[in-house]
Amino acid sequence: MANPLPPSILTQNAAAQLAQILTPPVSSENLGKALRLLAKWRSHVLLNTIVKRDGVTVQTGPFAGMIYRNAASEGAGATRLLGCYETSLAPIIAKIVAGQYRQVIDVGCAEGYYAVGLARLMPYAQIIARDANPAALALCARLAADNGVADRVTCAGKMSYDDFAACKSGKTVVICDIEGGEVDLLDPAKATGLLQADILVETHDCMTAGLSDLIAARFAASHHIERIDRLLDPAALPNWMEQLSDLDRLLALWEWRTGPTPWLWMTRKEAL
């Protein structure tokens, strides 16, 4: 019998972390951490399997056909490659593409999934990709180059209130996902340029209770507001995943969220 292959670095690291988490005394909290660690490990294994079997092209959803060889800088990669990442936003993405925006400002662009995906679908638009993490910006720039849109995707650092003045230069949509930082940044009293833009923002209620209501209240006078909650799309699973366990199929759709992160789609009521 052939010798079994040694465990991968991914598996070795997960095992080491698991042993540390489960050092006695074991508690319910530690078991919860262990469960999440093992789920993330399995999610990585599934992503590697998808790449091996199907390659690095997004399979379904609004960004189908996008080359995506980047590792996600935050969150699950499998759902991005399958094309069902944040699947409840698909109708909003369609509205953005149909909206003929001349400028997209992606705040918290991470590795560029939305910035590059929209650049491919909106050849008439300039994309401004902003992130405080230099490593994420490097990944975003690489993804733009992979997909032939580097000339229209400008990568830059952290967004300030004054930077939103760019919204006044033409029809603009702002996409914002900054892990709770929206409570400070998306303030139209301090960033008046936001009043000139339509805004799609992920509100991290799992970090700050009531955050979505707070953001909505700030823009209630100037914008129409639609709330979008989480949704899973098993239709995005490739046929070969029928052979996997129910748990693996569920983990392929898992986005690593710890709680509610509703999105707000806020469109201007009138030109201000």
pLDDT at 2 over 70: no
pLDDT in tens, 178-227: 999 999 999 999 999 999 999 999 999 999 999 999 999 999 999 999 99
Residue 139 · residue 70 · CB < 8 Å: yes
Which residues does 136 contact at the CB level (< 8 Å), separation at least 6?
A: 73, 74, 109, 110, 111
> What is the residue-averaged pLDDT of the chain?
95
Closest CA to 125 of 107, 165, 98: 98
Residue 136 near residue 108, CB atoms below 8 Å: no
Residue 272 pLDDT more than 80? no
Q: Determine the pLDDT at residue 6.
A: 85
Q: Is the pLDDT of residue 1 over 60?
A: no
pLDDT tens, position by position, 233-252: 999 999 999 999 999 999 99
Tens of pLDDT along 58-92?
A: 999 999 999 998 777 778 899 999 999 999 999 99
pTM of the model: 0.94
SS3 109: coil
Given a cut of 60, whether residue 9 has pLDDT beyond it is yes
User: Average pLDDT in the 226-235 region?
Assistant: 95
- Alpha carbon separation from 185 to 51, 176, 200, 224, 252 (Å, rounded): 36, 10, 13, 19, 33
pLDDT tens profile 113-142: 999 999 999 999 999 999 999 999 999 999
189-194: list long-range contacts, CB under 8 Å, 24+ apart: 189/218, 190/161, 191/161, 191/162, 191/164, 192/164, 192/165, 193/163, 193/164, 193/165, 193/166, 193/167, 193/168, 194/164, 194/167, 194/219
Contact 215, 209 (CB under 8 A): no
What are the φ and ψ backbone dihedral angles of 101, each rounded to 5 degrees?
-70, 140
Residue 3 has pLDDT above 70, yes or no: no
The torsion defined by the Cα of 205, 206, 207 and 211, in degrees rounded to 10, comes to 10
Q: What backbone phi and psi angles, to 5 degrees, belong to 266?
A: -120, 115
Higher pLDDT, 113 or 5: 113
Residue 31 has pLDDT above 80, yes or no: yes
Q: Write out pLDDT tens, residues 94-103.
A: 999 999 999 9
